[in-house]
Structures are given as structure tokens and as C-alpha cells.
């Protein structure tokens, strides 16, 4: 008897095709039959194929780990300090630059030499940073001891302030007791008087402790001030002793920006990677640079004050010296008098640009009479290029 052939069921198409009873590996687009890509393990049947990767994140009970090592100065604060030091050096460079270069040449300056350099700008406007070198009496110290003393002084100041606030409350409490005693009856007076005496005694003892803490804080602050003065001066001397670093405002500002929290080497390394906030230097320093370039080009055999040599050189200054050229043209009489004054004083050739610049700026800033203003206007130069 011939076997009966089974009728083959027609495959359903489109949406009629059911996927319910088909295993994951045999479905179209299934993941079980696919080869894994790269180094990923194959996805097993029944596993959630699109699970996101696990990422560890610290929870509320797991704070971010603190970096090891001593806390340092943030870059933004360091940059702000560098800009302040740069402004100081560029503004007063005609007055302090030559003396700093002299310390470099001698290769053996002292703490007092550094203090003498900054003495002329003590109390001047924008010269407040110079007080770091001039404060107190320098006391020899190393960086570790200075940091410890500064931290202890800061904590003691907070402690003293907290005690002062607490004293206000205790004084109020004593005043309340005195007021209550004034209106109390005969039966309550004894109890209130005892309470008032106790409060007054506690206040007296507390004030003794507060006075002792204030004295200790004042002495420690003075000690830190002396140590900081030594630290600033010694760090600047160490910088000047290294000939690989040029003595110019930006280099000095990089080295001094991180003091007293760090040494000049670390400060210089970090600040040298920071771009300058302004491409233009301070007006006083730009005037000094222009005078220095003109002075270096002067004829060596000149016999009289080189005022006639300066005139064409000023008119030919390049565009980068536009502000200096305009100042020289507008105040040519002030510059002429400065050149003649310094020439008569017979200053050293290396010092002459500093002297001429300082005298010119001094002439520009002083109060003038009506006659002097008329003469200034008469001697003005054309603006040149």
C-alpha cells in the first residue's frame, strides 16, 4: 500500500506569519545564530540583547575621592595674581628694573638689597604688592614652617572671632540679670543676685582667656608677617641668581604669582603655560622699551644731549609703538627736558634709558602752570607715520 504524502503547509507571508512559537535563534534577525563582533561574548538565547553597559557612579554614600597631596592654588587665582604682579613690574619698571638687573650682575644680593629696590614705591598707587617685601623684619624660615604658621595663624584668628561673638552673648546675659535684679522683689533678689554674680564671674574668666588668645594671635600674625617678608625676598634673590631666566616683568610676575603658598619654581612652571591676558604691556613699560631702542641706536661719539637724534627716531617708530610715539610727540618738551637733565647728570649708559623714562613720566604727571602748558603745545611734534 502506497504511503500517503503529507500535505506541505504553505508558508504564510507578511503580517500573517506568526513568530510566537519560533525559537529566538530561528527568527529572522535573531541574535543567537549570529557571530559576535570583536571581543564581545555571544548573546545567549533568552538574554536581554540591548542591555546598556554598566557604568559605576558614586552614590550619595560614596563621595568622590580627594586627590592626594597638599592642596594647591587654583589656576584662575594664580592667573589673577600673575596679572597683578605683571602690572606692578611694568608700571614701576623704570624705577626698579635697573636695580634688579644690578643684583643679577653682582650674583650676591642680600635681603636688604631687595628691600631697597622696592622702597621707592612704598605706599604708591598700585604698589600695594611691594609691601610683601617691605613688611615687618625678615625672619629666616623654610617653606614647610611658613605654611604651618600661616595655617595656625588663620585658625587662631577664627577662634578669636568666635570668642568675641560669644562674649557679646555673655554680656547681654549679664545685662539681663542686672535688669531683673532692679525690678525683683525682696524674696527673689537673693536668687537673682547669685545668678548675676555667677554670670559676671564667667564673663570675667572668659575675657581673660579672650585677651590671652588675642595676644597670641597678634604675636603669631607678626611672626608670619616677618617670615613672609623673608620668603618673598629670598625667593626673588634665588630667581635672580639663575641666569637662564631673563630679568623682565613677565618672567618676574610668573615667579612671584604663587608666593607665599608655593616656591618661585613651581609658580614659574605653572604660570609660563598661561597665555597673557592682554597682548599689550603697560604704558610705562612700552615707553621704556621705545626709549631703550632709540638709546641703543644713538651715535657713540655724540658730545651733546641727543635731543636732535631722538626727534627723527620718534617720528619713525613702528605701529606697535603707536601709543608711545603719540605720547612723545604730544609731550616732546617733557622728553627733551628729561634727556637734557639726565645727560647733565652723566648717568651710566646702561642706566640712561631708565633715568630718561622716569624723568619723562615725572614731567608728564606733575602739575604745570599756564606758561608751561603753552610751551608744551608750541613744541609738539607731528605724529609721524
Concatenated DSSP letters of 47-109: S-TTPPPP-----TTSPPPPPSS-----HHHHHHHHHHHHHHHHHSHHHHHHHHHHHHHHT--
Mean pLDDT within 186-194: 87
Domain annotation covers residue 40: no
Residues 230 and 329 in one domain: no
Between residues 282 and 26, the one the model is more confident about: 282
Least confident residue range of 11-15, 116-120, 236-240: 11-15
| Mean local confidence (pLDDT), 50-78 | 64
How many structural domains comprise the chain?
2
Q: Which whole number is the average pLDDT over 244-249?
A: 92
pLDDT, average across residues 208-221: 95
Residue bearing the bigger pLDDT, 230 or 29: 230
Q: Which domain holds residue 183?
A: 75-271
Last residue of some domain: 271, 298, 321?
271
Closest CA to 353 of 281, 279, 298, 280: 298
Neighbouring residues of 175: CB distance < 8 A, sequence distance ≥ 6: none
Asked whether residue 97 is assigned to any structural domain, the reply reads yes
Tens of pLDDT along 295-346? 999 998 888 899 999 999 999 988 888 888 999 999 999 999 999 999 999 9
Count of CB atoms situated within 10 Å of the CB of 59: 7
Longest dimension (CA), the chain: 143
Grid coordinates representing 169 are: 552673648
Residue carrying the nine cell digits 525682696: 186
Q: Is the dihedral of CA 171, 172, 175, 177 positive or negative?
A: negative
Q: What is the pLDDT of residue 302?
A: 86
> Across the chain, what does the average pLDDT equal?
85
Whether residues 152 and 119 share a domain: the answer is: yes
Domain boundary among 271, 300, 332: 271
| 140-144: average pLDDT | 94
Burial 319-353 (b: 16+ CB within 10 A, else e): eebeebbebbbbbbbbbbbbbbbbbeeebeeeebb
Q: Which of 271, 305, 335 is the last residue of a domain?
A: 271
Spatial separation of the C-alpha atoms in residues 255 and 270, rounded to whole Å: 9
pLDDT of 114 reads 95
Residue 292 and residue 243 share a domain? no
Residue 190: pLDDT above 90?
no
Q: 144 and 101 in one domain?
A: yes
Q: Clarify whether residues 209 and 264 are in a common domain.
A: yes
Would you say 145 and 130 are in contact if contact means Cβ atoms under 8 Å apart? no
Q: Verify that 257 and 121 share a domain, yes or no.
A: yes
CA atoms within 13 A on the CB side of 252: 23
Q: Quick one: pLDDT at residue 275? A: 87
Amino acid at each position: 500500500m502506497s504511503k500517503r504524502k503529507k500535505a506541505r503547509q504553505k508558508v504564510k507571508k507578511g503580517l500573517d506569519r506568526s513568530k510566537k512559537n519560533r525559537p529566538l535563534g530561528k527568527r529572522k534577525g535573531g541574535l543567537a545564530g549570529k557571530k559576535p563582533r570583536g571581543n564581545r561574548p555571544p548573546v545567549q538565547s533568552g538574554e536581554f540583547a540591548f542591555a546598556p553597559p554598566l557604568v559605576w557612579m558614586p552614590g550619595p554614600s560614596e563621595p568622590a575621592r580627594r586627590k592626594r597631596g597638599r592642596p594647591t592654588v587654583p589656576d584662575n587665582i594664580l592667573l589673577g595674581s600673575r596679572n597683578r604682579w605683571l602690572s606692578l613690574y611694568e608700571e614701576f619698571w623704570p624705577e626698579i628694573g635697573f636695580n634688579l638687573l644690578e643684583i643679577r650682575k653682582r650674583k650676591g644680593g642680600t635681603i636688604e638689597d631687595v628691600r631697597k629696590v622696592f622702597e621707592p614705591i612704598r605706599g604708591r598707587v598700585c604698589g600695594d604688592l611691594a609691601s610683601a617685601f617691605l613688611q615687618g623684619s625678615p625672619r629666616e624660615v623654610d617653606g614647610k614652617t611658613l605654611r604651618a604658621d600661616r595655617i595656625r595663624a588663620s585658625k587662631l584668628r577664627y577662634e578669636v572671632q568666635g570668642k568675641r561673638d560669644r562674649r557679646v552673648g555673655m554680656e547681654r546675659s549679664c545685662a539681663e540679670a542686672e535688669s531683673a535684679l532692679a525690678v525683683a522683689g525682696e524674696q527673689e533678689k537673693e536668687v537673682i543676685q547669685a545668678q548675676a554674680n555667677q554670670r559676671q564671674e564667667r564673663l570675667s574668666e572668659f575675657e581673660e582667656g579672650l585677651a590671652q588668645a588675642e595676644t597670641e594671635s597678634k604675636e603669631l600674625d607678626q611672626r608670619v608677617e616677618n617670615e613672609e617678608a623673608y620668603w618673598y625676598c629670598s625667593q626673588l634673590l634665588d630667581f635672580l641668581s639663575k641666569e637662564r631666566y631673563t630679568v623682565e616683568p613677565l618672567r618676574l610676575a610668573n615667579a612671584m604669582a604663587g608666593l607665599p603658598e608655593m616656591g618661585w619654581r613651581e609658580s614659574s612652571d605653572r604660570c609660563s603655560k598661561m597665555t597673557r591676558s592682554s597682548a599689550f604691556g603697560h604704558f610705562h613699560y612700552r615707553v621704556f622699551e621705545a626709549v631703550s631702542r632709540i638709546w641703543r641706536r644713538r651715535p657713540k661719539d655724540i658730545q651733546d644731549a641727543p635731543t636732535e637724534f631722538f626727534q627723527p627716531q620718534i617720528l619713525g617708530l613702528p605701529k606697535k609703538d603707536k601709543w608711545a610715539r603719540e605720547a612723545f610727540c604730544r609731550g616732546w618738551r617733557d622728553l627733551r627736558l628729561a634727556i637734557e637733565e639726565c645727560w647733565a647728570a652723566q648717568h651710566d649708559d646702561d642706566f640712561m634709558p631708565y633715568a630718561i623714562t622716569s624723568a619723562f613720566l615725572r614731567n608728564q604727571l606733575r602739575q604745570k602752570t599756564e606758561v608751561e602748558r603753552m610751551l608744551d603745545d608750541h613744541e609738539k611734534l607731528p605724529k609721524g607715520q
